[in-house]
Structure 1
Amino acid sequence: MTDLTLDLVIIGIYFAIIIGIGVHFSRRNKDVSEFALGGRSIPWWAVLASILASEISAGTFFGTPGEGFRLRNYTYAQLMVGYLLARLVVSAVFIPAYYKYNVVSIYEFLEIRFGPRTRRMASAIFLLTRSLASGSRLWVPTLLLVVIWNQMNPGNPLGNWQQFWFTGAGLVLISLLTAAYTAVGGIKAVIWTDVLQIAVLFCALGFSVWYLLGHIPGGWEGAKTHLTGADDLKLWEWEGDKPADTAWGKIKSVLESEFTVWA
């Protein structure tokens, strides 16, 4: 069995498990509340894992190492401060309104407070911006597929149109698969699928760290000898040529986006 065949078998099994999770929970959805809220019986740790899996997109997975390599430090981690502050604000301001008005989504709340026109407008804006953002995040892993193909077939690289159809097919497949298990299984299928994905992610992360340290001369101690620059271990950047690269810029951008995404 070739490496490519083994990879395809593993991916196929993974997709089959995801579809199986959706089908399993579809049999338990007795009403809309069960479909949308999971019967309010989902463990907190599963919800936490789902949030982590949802916010770690392909853009984050590939972009974070790239940003660290570009900056040669850890200032990208400044985003985490924005994440934490945004969650505190959302928990204190928005979540109590859900319980007070007994609503499932922010759009129900907007309709109660401001009327159906506001709800429809907010829904349309969110769908548009989410489609653009999610589309770009789905596009990132399809680019990796092209890179992998070209590396495995150096004598037969993909042309421009071939890349277009290759990435397009990947986008459609991933979108249809996600839509299928979400529509069939409801929120429980989404959350438990995310639990599986975050488990795979952390296992892959642990293996990657172990593998890299095992192949660096001297292991961890050897790696530290190369971190001798003035900014190699830098965590904060208050000033910079680009506002987005500063701590205030990163915190501000996350605070602005988190209200919409998590509320």
Structure 2
Amino acid sequence: MELLAQELRLPTNALDYTLLGIYFAVVLGVGFAARRSVNTSLDFFLSGRSLPAWVTGLAFVAANLGALEILGMAANGAQYGAYTVHWYWVGAIPAMVFLGLVMMPFYYGSKVRSVPEFLLHRFGPSSHLLSAVIFSVASVLIAGVNLYAMAIVIEALLGWPQWVAIVVAGFFVLAYITLGGLSSAIYNEVVQFFVILAALIPLTVIGLQRVGGWSGLTDTLTAEQGENFMSAWRGTGIGTDNPLGANWLTIVLGLGFALSFGYWTTNFAEVQRALSAKNLSAAKRTPLIAAFPKILIPLIVVVPGLVALAVAPDIGQAGSGLEYNDAIPLLMRELLPNGVLGIAVTGLLAAFMAGMAANVSAFNTVFTNDIWAAYVRRDRDDRYYLLTARVVTAIGVLGGMGTAFIASTFSNIMNYLQTLFSFFNVPLFVVFIIGMFWKRATAAAGFWGLLAGTVAAMINYFWLYRGDVLDIPTDQGANFVSAIVAFVAGAVVMVALTPFTRPKRPEQLAGLVYGTVSPGMAEPPAKGDDAWYRSPALLGWGALILAALCYLPFSF
């Protein structure tokens, strides 16, 4: 890390630090302003279900625009090339549309406060508690990724020791979530979204100018990395070698279906934003509105990773002193003047804090409602649970500080995050999708299917892949396979156990299974929500068509 700090140290000045100071002041100001609206636990956890769709939609995409997106996808761009666009156009958009059109009516209509709580109603306490524990652990681990990513950037760019960077960022996240709950997190995420754009757009434009535009970048990387490096689909035939270590089948099934749908439809850090919307129509539109900026994010995240590889061809190589995670910091050092540099550093901090805040706010909701209130301290007054949530927020931040060091063992944090998603999100998706479309699926089948999927993914990754039993050339290829294994194992166990166990009565499944409705799902559109341009179907199909068209420049 000392070598990295020397390689990437930036000449920051008073102007850059002033911009950082202004940003931190705004973050705390939003927290204090939001505090006035927090009177109940529902206000703290779900903003009183009162936010408009455009706010929740921007917060939805900003919550994902953390270390996962900025450093992770830029690292993927440098390591895997144009194959990285699959994480967006097949690995995000279809699942986001499915969430908005198919799953949000069940989530929002059932009035649940969290994703695990839906499992409580559909299957029962065993699946509920297991999913709540799994999600709590995953949330703290992912919060640690954001803290670690932020720490290496600040140490390298500003010279702050890692522990100082972790403590400072953790303090600000803790302060504004504790003060204003989810409202504070969401409104800060909207601000952070525009700060991130202000940081990354200049970096992308200047970076492309440095390498001779898109044609110059393509010519350089094609000459250095091979003709398939700048194509999304060439070289993905079964049995064909490529930098990603995956073929079209594992990309479509592993990433496009299992990992993507597992993440976007069950990850409460994002779903929580939709649940905070003011009505069912706004909740359905939340992920659909988020899909449109998500389609274009590769232009300011993946492209800088490609530029970084062109500028420093030895990035990620042994002895270079630079890891793939350093793609964005490297470009900032090479390309940005003071002032613009301050905006860029602020944008990175905003991204990391948005990602951490999303996971911490999801963690405090799930732990308080789905573990503490459900199984440890039942039937207390609302003020007790509001206080508990604030204490749990502090625990989540401290836990994230601890798990930040686990992320430090991966040279590409996207590899680490995808590993976590294959372990935790894919098995959850199996249980959700079968339980939501099959009335006969039972509580026992849900519990054992969830457990089987999680264990199978871990066995595939740690024993078969890490133990060199399977010949898979890259971590990402192994993660795609782990996701497929998790889905198949969970589905097989659920289907096998269901005929031998007792299902719920039909009246207990109203609003929880496809083909049934609950009073919340029958809510008529609010005034103005019936306008044609607010149609969820139009937004969803529009996003799918636009994502498909984006593949054309990368397909030949």
- Short-chain TM bin: 0.7 to 0.9
1:154 matched residue in structure 2: none
Work out which of the residue numbers 151, 171, 180 in structure 2 matches 1:176.
171
Distance apart, 1:215 and its partner CA:
3.8
Work out which of the residue numbers 27, 31, 34 in structure 2 matches 1:18.
27
Q: Equivalents in 2 of 1:68, 1:209: separation in Å? A: 13
Identify if the C-alpha distance between structure 1 residues 228 and 11 changes in structure 2 by more than 3 Å, giving closer, same or farther: same
On the 8 A contact 2:82/2:231 being kept in 1, the answer is yes
What does 1:114-193 correspond to in 2, within 5 Å?
114-149=123-158, 166-193=161-188
What does 1:33-48 correspond to in 2, within 5 Å?
33-48=42-57
Q: Equivalents in 1 of 2:37, 2:165: separation in Å? A: 31
On the 8 A contact 1:77/1:235 being kept in 2, the answer is yes
Distance apart, 1:221 and its partner CA:
5.9
Determine whether 1:95 maps to 2:76.
no
Higher relative contact order (Cα pairs below 8 Å, separated by 6+ residues): 1
Work out which of the residue numbers 241, 250, 253 in structure 1 matches 2:255.
250
Q: Identity of counterpart residues, as a percentage?
A: 26
Determine whether 1:76 maps to 2:68.
no
Identify if the C-alpha distance between structure 1 residues 99 and 70 changes in structure 2 by more than 3 Å, giving closer, same or farther: closer
Identify if the C-alpha distance between structure 1 residues 185 and 216 changes in structure 2 by more than 3 Å, giving closer, same or farther: same
Q: Equivalents in 2 of 1:232, 1:112: separation in Å? A: 47
Gaps of 5+ in 1: 151-162
Identify if the C-alpha distance between structure 1 residues 6 and 74 changes in structure 2 by more than 3 Å, giving closer, same or farther: same
1:210 matched residue in structure 2: 205
1:259 matched residue in structure 2: 265
Q: Equivalents in 2 of 1:99, 1:141: separation in Å? A: 34
SS state of the match for residue 231, structure 2?
coil
Residue type at the aligned position of 1:253: L
Determine whether 1:85 maps to 2:94.
yes
Determine whether 1:233 maps to 2:230.
yes
Residue type at the aligned position of 1:75: Y
SS state of the match for residue 39, structure 2?
coil
Q: Equivalents in 2 of 1:3, 1:227: separation in Å? A: 31
Residue type at the aligned position of 1:121: L
More displaced stretch, 130-139 vs 86-95: 86-95
More displaced stretch, 114-123 vs 49-58: 114-123
Gaps of 5+ in 2: 1-10, 272-556
On the 8 A contact 2:116/2:128 being kept in 1, the answer is yes
Distance apart, 1:5 and its partner CA:
3.3
On the 8 A contact 2:236/2:247 being kept in 1, the answer is no
SS state of the match for residue 91, structure 2?
helix
On the 8 A contact 2:95/2:260 being kept in 1, the answer is yes
On the 8 A contact 1:244/1:250 being kept in 2, the answer is no
Distance apart, 1:20 and its partner CA:
0.5
2:375 matched residue in structure 1: none
Work out which of the residue numbers 65, 79, 98 in structure 1 matches 2:74.
65
Distance apart, 1:226 and its partner CA:
4.1
- What whole-Å deviation, never above 9, does each CA across 1:114-164 have from its counterpart, x for those lacking one? 3344333221110111211221232122112232256xxxxxxxxxxxx9x
- What whole-Å deviation, never above 9, does each CA across 1:5-46 have from its counterpart, x for those lacking one? 333322122111001001101112233333333343322222
Determine whether 1:194 maps to 2:208.
no
Moved over 6 A (4+): none
Residue type at the aligned position of 2:171: L
On the 8 A contact 2:218/2:230 being kept in 1, the answer is no
More displaced stretch, 136-145 vs 98-107: 98-107
TM-score normalized with structure 2 length = 0.40
On the 8 A contact 1:46/1:192 being kept in 2, the answer is yes
2:445 matched residue in structure 1: none
Q: Equivalents in 2 of 1:108, 1:65: separation in Å? A: 35
Q: Equivalents in 1 of 2:126, 2:221: separation in Å? A: 56
- What whole-Å deviation, never above 9, does each CA across 1:184-208 have from its counterpart, x for those lacking one? 1122211110111110111112211
Q: Equivalents in 2 of 1:205, 1:173: separation in Å? A: 23
Q: Equivalents in 1 of 2:117, 2:211: separation in Å? A: 54
Q: Equivalents in 1 of 2:168, 2:198: separation in Å? A: 25
On the 8 A contact 2:67/2:145 being kept in 1, the answer is no
Identify if the C-alpha distance between structure 1 residues 227 and 34 changes in structure 2 by more than 3 Å, giving closer, same or farther: same
On the 8 A contact 1:59/1:140 being kept in 2, the answer is no
